[in-house]
């Protein structure tokens, strides 16, 4: 019997969207005090349940606005669901919005510790892996430069190098990474492939069905925040293709 790596149980996620434009902070507080602020409730996910076995590579399919990235962020622990629960066995490497926890006034070196903490890695562990992170990122002397002077490619490279320094049990991928130049991208793909070879559990979101079919053995299809199909990659792909015709 296969062990469960990720268990998502009756997860719903609600966002409150302001239904009218507020021009500045002062106006916002006046409206707040007078209780004139009106919100529209938007459910990005509704009662989503799924169980992912260890070693499975699961593609998450759906049109824009289906809730794919929201689901990944909840599994990664970036967002807390409004309802329901998520249990993940083992270590997660979330390759989502690389460097979203960076502080632009800090140097690359300082951000290694900061981002490491955001990802839940102990300081001693980061200290031990520090040189390895810098070496993989190929940032050289730029590691002592404040992040505000980095290009987006440099930030992604640093983010990728920190996020993949662990030997993860669960790898979360949102789109194939646009990290730096072609040579560095190849290096990242090789690193991800080496994780695949070790039997890591994978959750993968991509707009490219061909990519999902290449990487995954199972899939989930989301539509307007609800799971409408889950199972083998061929069977779910066929339903998705019908929907996108």
DSSP 144: G
Burial grade of 81 (CB within 10 A; 0-12, 13-18, 19 or more)? buried
Per-residue pLDDT of the chain (245 residues; tens, 9 = 90+): 779 999 999 999 998 766 566 666 766 666 666 666 666 678 899 999 999 999 999 999 988 888 998 999 899 888 899 999 999 998 888 887 777 778 999 999 999 998 888 777 889 999 999 999 999 999 999 999 999 999 888 888 898 898 888 888 999 887 756 566 778 888 888 888 888 888 899 999 887 888 889 889 999 999 999 999 999 999 999 999 988 87
User: CB burial class (10 A; 0-12, 13-18, 19+) of residue 76?
Assistant: buried
Domain spans, the chain: 4-33+41-91+167-243, 102-161
Helical pair 152-163 and 123-137, crossing angle rounded to 10 deg: 130
Question: Max Cα separation, the chain?
Answer: 59
Residues across the chain: 245
What's this model's pTM, rounded to 2 decimal places?
Answer: 0.78
The top-level CATH class assigned to 4-33+41-91+167-243 is alpha beta
């Amino acid at each position: 019997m296969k062990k469960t790596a990720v268990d998502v149980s009756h997860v719903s996620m609600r966002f409150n969207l302001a239904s009218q434009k507020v021009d500045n902070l002062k106006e916002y507080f006046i409206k707040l005090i007078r209780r004139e602020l009106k919100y529209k409730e938007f459910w990005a996910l509704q009662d989503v349940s799924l169980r992912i076995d260890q070693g499975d590579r699961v593609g998450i399919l759906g049109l824009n606005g289906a809730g794919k990235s929201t689901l990944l962020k909840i599994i990664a622990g970036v967002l807390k669901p409004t309802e329901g629960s998520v249990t993940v066995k083992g270590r997660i490497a979330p390759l989502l919005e690389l460097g979203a926890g960076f502080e632009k006034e800090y140097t690359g070196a300082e951000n290694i510790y900061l981002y490491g903490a955001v990802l839940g890695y102990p300081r001693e562990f980061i200290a031990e892996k520090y040189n390895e992170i810098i070496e993989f990122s190929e940032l050289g002397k730029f590691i002592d430069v404040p992040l505000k002077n980095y290009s987006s490619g440099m930030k992604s490279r640093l983010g990728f190098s920190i996020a993949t320094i662990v030997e993860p049990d669960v790898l979360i991928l949102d789109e194939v990474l646009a990290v730096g130049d072609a040579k560095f991208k190849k290096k990242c793909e090789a690193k991800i492939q080496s994780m695949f070879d070790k039997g890591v559990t994978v959750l993968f979101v991509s707009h490219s069905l061909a990519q999902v079919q290449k990487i995954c053995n199972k899939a989930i299809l989301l539509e307007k925040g609800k799971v409408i199909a889950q199972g083998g990659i061929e069977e779910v792909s066929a339903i998705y293709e019908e929907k996108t015709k």
